[in-house]
Structure 1
Amino acid sequence: MFGLIGHLTSLEHAQAVAKELGYPEYADQGLDFWCSAPPQIVDSIIVTSVTGQQIEGRYVESCFLPEMLASRRIKAATRKILNAMAHAQKHGINITALGGFSSIIFENFKLEQFSQVRNIKLDFERFTTGNTHTAYIICKQVEEASKQLGIDLSNATVAICGATGDIGSAVTRWLDAKTDVQDLLLIARDQERLKELQGELGRGKIMGLTEALPQADVVVWVASMPKGVEIDPTTLKQPCLLIDGGYPKNLATKVQYPGVYVLNGGIVEHSLDIDWKIMKIVNMDVPARQLFACFAESMLLEFEKLYTKLFLGAQSDYRRQNGADW
């Protein structure tokens, strides 16, 4: 059995869907209540492959909300993810993907050091961040969408917003090693890690967002943002491809401007309808078939009966593979 640990995009979003998920007592509650709410299995899932193989899964709602980070409720946020992992393991789930901020919190706050959650000792082999598959899908989206828009990567400048993160660093290394992209613009909050990444690549320009956007033909957004940012589309090149791989989305509003194209990053589509309800709740365009690539990672591992993490930490994993194909 596979598992998915996720969360909703905001307090308002959580309140709106609580009743639909069968928890009306959560619907009118504020952030303090959600900080103490326990994880819940709220969806049972059946996935059928084109060969007829069926797998079963569970969606675990962690009750984490991005406002917990914005309001500096760090302990509540980390406790949410650890409790959700323990809940998944307790219910016999073999391999569980950490979706959205779940993987970011796990990585950034080094939750692997907290293996004991009450009476449960976490087996980290049962959990995968989903970041390998997400980074791969975003890289392929850069390649394919650029081609469709007539953007020649060999003459293009690609900006990565969130370049030092788990997904962002993997995307940056892929673009450096597997494509002939002309220039890389590296954007992140941590300047020390940016310098390390630049030194490892032997190229790439460290820039602020405002400086980088007018120069970029392609912008990959994979920053960990509790709230999205507004950008002025008049400052962008035409054509310009924006790939928003964040959850919640990094772009606060959908950009609508001639020559500017916004693509939902890290989204995949299954060949057949999936028996579930959770993708409708997170407003997926085709909820019966579309899903986040991080969730698809746990499904792929379940189909192959590989009950082990694909990795936790894209940067160290990339170095171990020494640039091998994913």
Structure 2
Amino acid sequence: MFALIGHLTSLKHAQAVAHALGYSEYANQSLDFWCSAPPQIVDNFHVTSLTRQTIEGKYIESCFLPEMLTNRRIKAAIRKILNAMALAQKSDINITALGGFSSIVFEEFNLKNNKQVRNVELEFKRFTTGNTHTAYIVCRQLEQASAQLGIDLSRATVAVCGATGDIGSAVCRWLDRKTNVAELLLIARNQKRLQTLREELGRGRILGLEEALPQADIIVWVASMPKGVEIDPEILKKPVLVIDGGYPKNLGTKIKHPDIHIFKGGIVEHSLDINWKIMEIVNMDIPSRQMFACFAEGILLEFEGWHTNFSWGRNQITVSKMEQIGQASIKHGFRPLLG
């Protein structure tokens, strides 16, 4: 059995979903209430592979909200993720994928040092961030969408925003080794990590956001959008391909232009229907088939019997592991979302 740990995008979203799911005691409550709310298993479902294998899964709502990522509430955010992981382990789950900000909180605050959660000693081999599959899917979306739009990668400049993150660095490695992309622009806040990545790749120009975006034929956005930052569509090349791999995926609502082609990055579509409610909650266009690629990694690991932390640690994703999870993805009926 596998599990998916997720969370909602805002307090307003959480209140609406709580009402829809029948958790009336959660609806209309303040952020203080959500800071103390325990994780809940809110969905049980089955997934069938193209191989006809069927597995059982659970969705765990961590009750974490992005509004908790402040100095005053960060302890609540940490507690949410650890408690959700403990619930998964107590429920005898083989492998659990950490979705959304769950893996980011885990990495940024070194939660590997907090193995004891009440009476549960966390076994980290039972958990995966799902970032390897996400990075693979983002790269395949870039390759396939650029072909659709007539963008020649051998002549294209690709800007990776969030290049030093787990997913961003993996995307850079793939583009360097698996494609003939002409130029890489590396964008991130941490200059030391950027220098390290550039030395590893042996290529790439380190630029600021405002300088890089007007030069890019393709933009891979795998970073959080800082408050107050807006992208002026007038400065972008036309046409330009944008892969929005952030969470929540909101670039499509912020940038409107017929020659700016924005794809929801890190989303996959399964070949067969899944009897779950959770993707309706996060507003997938076809909720019975579409999901985040990080969640799909948990499903793939259960299908393959790879009960291990396949994606774990910062910047540990290799091209070979992306290829490995990619082969499993195709085998079991997942494809990158291009619509």
Normalising by structure 1, we get a TM-score of 0.95
Equivalent residue for 1:120?
120
What amino acid sits opposite 1:306 in the alignment? W
The answer to whether the 8 A contact 1:4-1:298 is kept is yes
1:96 aligns with 2:101: no
Per the TM alignment, residue 225 of structure 1 is displaced from its structure 2 partner at its CA by 4.3
Equivalent residue for 1:307?
307
1:164 aligns with 2:168: no
Equivalent residue for 2:316?
316
Equivalent residue for 1:201?
201
The answer to whether the 8 A contact 1:227-1:250 is kept is no
Per the TM alignment, residue 50 of structure 1 is displaced from its structure 2 partner at its CA by 2.7
Per the TM alignment, residue 229 of structure 1 is displaced from its structure 2 partner at its CA by 4.7
- Residue range with higher mean Cα deviation, 95-104 or 45-54: 45-54
Per-residue CA deviation, residues 169-206 of structure 1 (Å, 9 max, x unaligned), is 10011111111111111111111111111121122111
What amino acid sits opposite 2:39 in the alignment? P
The answer to whether the 8 A contact 1:69-1:226 is kept is no
- Which structure 2 segments of 5+ residues have no match? 325-339
Partner Cα distance (1:244, 1:313) in 2: 23
Per-residue CA deviation, residues 45-79 of structure 1 (Å, 9 max, x unaligned), is 11122333211100000111111114652211111
**1:34–1:79 distance in 2 versus 1, CA, 3 Å:** same
Per-residue CA deviation, residues 188-237 of structure 1 (Å, 9 max, x unaligned), is 11111111111211221111211111111101111134769531111111
The answer to whether the 8 A contact 2:3-2:59 is kept is yes
Equivalent residue for 2:262?
262
Partner Cα distance (1:227, 1:72) in 2: 18
The answer to whether the 8 A contact 2:78-2:106 is kept is yes
The answer to whether the 8 A contact 2:6-2:99 is kept is yes
**1:40–1:124 distance in 2 versus 1, CA, 3 Å:** same
The answer to whether the 8 A contact 1:18-1:24 is kept is yes
Partner Cα distance (2:322, 2:131) in 1: 16
The answer to whether the 8 A contact 2:160-2:219 is kept is yes
The answer to whether the 8 A contact 1:244-1:263 is kept is yes
Equivalent residue for 2:17?
17
Per the TM alignment, residue 324 of structure 1 is displaced from its structure 2 partner at its CA by 8.2
Partner Cα distance (2:226, 2:33) in 1: 19
Partner Cα distance (2:271, 2:227) in 1: 32
Equivalent residue for 1:131?
131
**1:285–1:71 distance in 2 versus 1, CA, 3 Å:** farther
- Which structure 1 segments of 5+ residues have no match? none
Task: Provide the secondary structure at the position in 1 that maps to 2:311.
Answer: coil
**1:309–1:102 distance in 2 versus 1, CA, 3 Å:** same
**What percent of counterpart residues are identical?**
71
**1:226–1:119 distance in 2 versus 1, CA, 3 Å:** farther
Task: Provide the secondary structure at the position in 1 that maps to 2:310.
Answer: coil
Question: Number of residue pairs matched?
Answer: 324
**1:314–1:175 distance in 2 versus 1, CA, 3 Å:** farther
Per-residue CA deviation, residues 229-283 of structure 1 (Å, 9 max, x unaligned), is 5311111111100100112125272422021100000111111110000000100
Over 4 Å off, 4+ runs = 225-229
Task: Provide the secondary structure at the position in 2 that maps to 1:29.
Answer: coil
Once superposed, what is the RMSD of the aligned Cα atoms? 1.8
The answer to whether the 8 A contact 2:240-2:261 is kept is yes
How do residues 55-66 of structure 1 correspond to structure 2 at under 5 angstroms?
55-66=55-66
**1:317–1:236 distance in 2 versus 1, CA, 3 Å:** closer
Partner Cα distance (2:224, 2:159) in 1: 16
Partner Cα distance (1:103, 1:131) in 2: 9
What amino acid sits opposite 1:89 in the alignment? Q
What amino acid sits opposite 1:204 in the alignment? G
Normalising by structure 2, we get a TM-score of 0.91
Partner Cα distance (2:57, 2:227) in 1: 30
The answer to whether the 8 A contact 2:133-2:322 is kept is no
Per the TM alignment, residue 318 of structure 1 is displaced from its structure 2 partner at its CA by 2.5
Per the TM alignment, residue 308 of structure 1 is displaced from its structure 2 partner at its CA by 1.2
